[in-house]
A and B are shown apart, each in its own frame.
Chain A
Amino acid sequence: MSDWIDIAPLERIPQRGARVIKTAHGCVAIFRTVDDKVFAIDDRCPHKNGPLSEGIVHGRSVTCPLHNWVISLETGMAQGADEGAVNTYEIKVENGRILLDASRLKAQSAA
């Protein structure tokens, strides 16, 4: 069951950029791509926990600022030769506002 939470207006995130939301089990990075798609993934690189929200966003990927792992925003999977993945979250934009499905966050914190 979805549980949409209103996060913020879309323009609070720069295009090709990210902002962070705090959750009970850690930070989630909300990305906005050049074509205004939004994605939410854990703000911890599967490699050495680098803050993905500070990476350079290109296409549907982000490059981790610590060691240049490239993570898919769509799947959370590390790209290329690297192996690993981060959690992704359902997210959408409605009427210019970012909505995040908190059901997965709650499930995790309950677990």
Chain B
Amino acid sequence: MAEKLVIIGAGMASGRLLESLLEADAARYDITLFGAEPRGNYNRILLSPVLAGEQTFPDIITHDAPWYQAHGITCRFNEPVVKIDRKARRIISAGGATDYDKLVIATGSASFFIPVVGNDLPGVIGFRDMDDVEVMLGAAEKGGNAVIIGGGLLGLEAAAALHKQGMAVTVVHLMGHLMERQLDAAAGYLLQKELEARGIRVITKAQTNAILGEGHVEAVLLDGDITLKADLVVMAAGIRPETRLAVESGLHTERGIVVDDALHTSDPHIYALGECVEHDGVVYGLVAPLFDMAGVLAKTLLDEVAAFKAPVVSTKLKVTGVDLFSVGDFGVGEGREEIVFRDPGYGIYKRLILRDNRIIGIVMYGDTQDSGWYFDKLKSGEDISDIRETLIFGPACQGGAAQDPLAMVAAMPDSAEICGCNGICKGAIVEAVQAGATDLGALKAVTKASASCGSCAGLVEQVLAATLGDAFEAPAKAGICGCTDHSHEDIRRVIKSRSLESIPAVMQEMGWKTSCGCHICRPALNYYLICEYPLDYVDDAQSRFVNERNHANIQKDGTYSVVPRMWGGMTTPQELRAIADAAEKYNVPTIHVTGGQRIDLLGVEREDLPSMWADLNAAGLVSGHAYSKGLRTVKTCVGTDHCRFGTQDSTGLGIKLEKMLWGSWTPHKVKLAVSGCPRNCAEATCKDLGVICVESGYQVSVAGAAGMELKQTEALATVETEAEVMELAAAFIQLYRESAAYLDRPYKWVAKVGLDWVIEQVVDKLETRKALVERFELSQSVYRKDPWAEQARPEYKPQKWAVLADLTLEAAE
């Protein structure tokens, strides 16, 4: 019978332990996982991006319910363990007693609440888990003032995120400069300047004396009688290992639970790992060593010999737009020398601390590109006397010309660390490549390299390329145009991960080769930014193709076509009369009935557009977006209203879908159809999304095509209610909006990402679906409106529609 393994704590360390253990031997243990939080393992490092609104909670889940189920793990979430009975080898929780053969304590750490009056007021919280993030987001919604106590890594990430969420943020820091454990005073100053430039107030050397408030926090009182208004106080003055259970059960505990190299505690049946342990006098708070521990403990639990060794850990701050790196020892001391480089104009500061011609400390601010190169030298203890003169200028200055990145990667030793989060070195990646993992996705799955924060993905790919040599096929990742070597996918990812909020910012940060792009990249960037920041990004008309700038479809002779929307293909005598009147008034030479069930007025002069729109608006007609990368039409049949075969109200559903989706910008045009019965008169099975009504409900299918290619739709789901159809449609369109390359129709996008994945996101994962719908609605709160009404406003005439000057008279003189 399998041995009973009980794990207390469902954090990152235990998540990684489960993976390592199950991968090596899935059958040995019968595992029960206790967690005090009401959710399973997630990537706690990425709570800051969630707080900043750059990612959502589902994005950072590392193990979901199906995973636990598939691996036979009994989950007891939301159930804190209250006691360990070592004698009887059982633990006690709300659900009673649970026996164990082996016990792993992974209780992590808790925020250290500085001992002042009022530190238990509502509104005073730590920053450790998703609950804290939810409280903070709730507070941020109301705006107001946030005070962060502690200007370390966590405190600054919280400060930047809350500031981004619209709160007025003050950071209160006890020491003389920010992040004093990782930065020296100069870099701390640059960081403070950067944060202040963004509008975050920083007070250093600030002793907090009390937290004031009645029933809820209202203010923070500092030494010197400085009072700061506060609607939210975040305690980020440090963490302490969560050792209460261990202490109460009599395990040897100092600052943390004391473990040996194999991660045994003082009880032979109990092990511990993560932030709650103390190894060799050291307590760890960064993820890389915790993952190392997980690997060691998995082996220990399988009776293999393994030993945890204290690693050198480096620090990066996850605040968008701030580049800093620090590692090692950077104090001033005897026998130490330093090399410093400053460029105040660019806010760049680099400092290397040397002892015996070896790098022992690195602090970099503003430009951290070469951090990996220095870090390798620090870890290897290489004698740098030969290159000392040019050392501070980085690898590019060693031996003249800048090195080809591939050659640099090829020259790295196997022990060079590539993925800092997971502690994956080059050797492990090379091995995996040789064992058959020949693309980034496979490498990620096999080695975990680039699977956590993702910032090393480029480097991992370079290792892949260097290992495969000629056999390496760059994964169809040619640049989107001559202005850049980046792919659409890269660009979308970087816009998100680095919160780039304008076209110039993307071009700057991603190294565009042209000063302002071209007709290929600019519309793509403009779309990606609209999609990513629906509320804040201001549409750049000059980066729009003419049709979307002029809200009409340009024809070969420079005239335009005008197509009013006919919701679900329905119209009225009044509408038809208004269309006929407009056609006569503006001398429309051609009137055509389109395949999307509406009327196209062709041959309209540019200068007539705004007045024609105003006339059509007056009759209740709005833009049909017959020119946009956006929702075009929802074609319907008359369904149960008239048809003797109709099973549902296909017309009504089509109109509802169109009213929900219209105005949204998408990577390419989107067409829908709803047929009232399987005879499919609305031709729903060659649309981007089609609905076929049946007696029992609605068959929703997606990714059809009837243009240059012909492709039948594939089943997404069959549902029973109109409401579910609406939800699926919104979620599908939003997923397409968020992840497709610009100018890929849905069928092309689905072919790239896989229908299974789309179904998982849109149909299976209810929370993901809900989040997609919410993000779609948020975007639509801005874009669900008639562009014609706006463009027809009188002030647009002199600005846009009229000629700039008429010289016909003067030139004729």
Contact = CB atoms under 8 A, between A and B. Distances in A.
Interface string A1-39: 000010110001111110111111101001000100000
Contact of A63 (B518, B541, B812): B518
A21 B549 contact: no
Given A56-B518, A56-B522, A59-B515, A7 B546 contact: no
Contacts of A20: 803-804
A54 B549 contact: yes
B807 interface: yes
A5 B557 CA distance: 29
Interface in B518-541: 518-519, 522-523, 541
Interface string B538-563: 00011111100110001011100000
Given A24-B811, A56-B545, A102-B811, A30 B518 contact: no
B554 A65 contact: yes
Contacts of B807: 5, 21-24, 102, 105
Contacts of A55: 519, 546
A99 B543 CA distance: 26
Contacts of A48: 556
A23 B811 contact: yes
A89 B691 CA distance: 56
A19 B803 contact: yes
A100 B139 CA distance: 58
A49 B558 contact: yes
A19 to B, nearest CB: 4
A7 B558 CA distance: 24
A22 B805 contact: yes
Nearest to A12: B804
A51 B811 contact: no
A73 interface: no
B35 interface: no
Contact of B519 (A5, A50, A63, A105): A63
B303 interface: no
* Secondary structure call for the B interface: mixed
Contacts of A105: 807, 811
Contacts of A41: none
A14 B541 contact: yes
Contacts of B516: 16, 34, 58-59
A13 B558 contact: no
B551 to A, nearest CB: 12
B558 A56 contact: no
Interface in B451-493: none
Given A15-B542, A50-B558, A56-B543, A21 B550 contact: no
A34 B518 CA distance: 12
Contacts of B808: 22-24
A63 B13 CA distance: 54
B514 A58 contact: yes
Contacts of B557: 49
A54 B514 contact: no
A57 interface: yes
Contacts of A17: 541-542
Contacts of B798: 12
A26 B542 CA distance: 24
B517 interface: yes
Nearest to B541: A14
Nearest to A13: B804
B556 A66 contact: yes
Interface string B774-813: 0000000000000000000000001100011111101110
> A interface, how many residues as a size bin?
35 or more
A44 to B, nearest CB: 9
A21 B810 contact: no
A81 B238 CA distance: 63
Contacts of A51: 546, 554, 558
Nearest to A65: B546
Nearest to A27: B803
B29 to A, nearest CB: 61
A59 B798 CA distance: 26
Contacts of B544: 56
Given A21-B804, A58-B516, A63-B518, A109 B542 contact: no
A56 B544 CA distance: 7
Contacts of A7: 804-805
Contacts of A66: 554, 556
A30 B546 CA distance: 16
A58 B522 contact: yes
Contact of A59 (B514, B542, B806): B514
Contact of A58 (B518, B541, B803, B811): B518
A81 to B, nearest CB: 13
A34 B804 contact: no
A39 to B, nearest CB: 14
Interface in A91-111: 102, 105-106, 109
Given A20-B804, A65-B546, A5 B556 contact: no
- Interface-centre pick from A7, A20, A25, A30 (highest chain B CB count, 10 A): A20
Contacts of A19: 803-804
Nearest to B550: A54
A96 B518 CA distance: 27
Contacts of B517: 58
- Interface-centre pick from B517, B523, B805 (highest chain A CB count, 10 A): B805
Given A57-B542, A65-B546, A109-B812, A8 B519 contact: no
B812 A24 contact: yes
Contacts of B514: 58-59
A15 B516 CA distance: 11
A12 B800 CA distance: 9
Nearest to B798: A12
Nearest to B522: A56
Contacts of A102: 807, 810-811
Contacts of A70: 519
Given A14-B541, A54-B549, A66-B554, A5 B810 contact: yes
A51 to B, nearest CB: 5
Nearest to B523: A56
Contacts of A34: 515-516
A108 to B, nearest CB: 9
A13 B802 CA distance: 12
Nearest to A48: B556
Contacts of B549: 54
A14 B538 CA distance: 15
A16 B542 contact: yes
Contacts of A49: 557-558
Contacts of B556: 48, 66
A39 B805 CA distance: 15
Contacts of A68: 519
B558 A109 contact: no
A57 B514 CA distance: 12
A12 B812 contact: no
A56 B543 CA distance: 6
A69 B734 CA distance: 33
Nearest to A21: B805
A8 B805 contact: yes
A73 to B, nearest CB: 13
A105 B518 CA distance: 30
B804 A54 contact: no
Contacts of A22: 803, 805-808
Given A48-B556, A56-B522, 9 more contacts: A5-B810, A7-B804, A17-B542, A21-B803, A22-B807, A24-B807, A24-B811, A49-B557, A58-B514
The 9 closest A-B pairs by CB, nearest first: A63-B519, A19-B804, A65-B546, A56-B519, A16-B542, A54-B546, A24-B811, A21-B805, A22-B806
Interface of B: 514-519, 522-523, 541-546, 549-550, 554, 556-558, 798-799, 803-808, 810-812
26 contacts: A5-B807, A12-B798, A16-B542, A20-B803, A21-B803, A22-B807, A22-B808, A24-B808, A24-B812, A49-B558, A51-B558, A54-B546, A54-B550, A54-B554, A55-B519, A56-B545, A57-B542, A58-B514, A58-B516, A58-B522, A59-B514, A63-B519, A65-B546, A66-B556, A105-B811, A109-B811
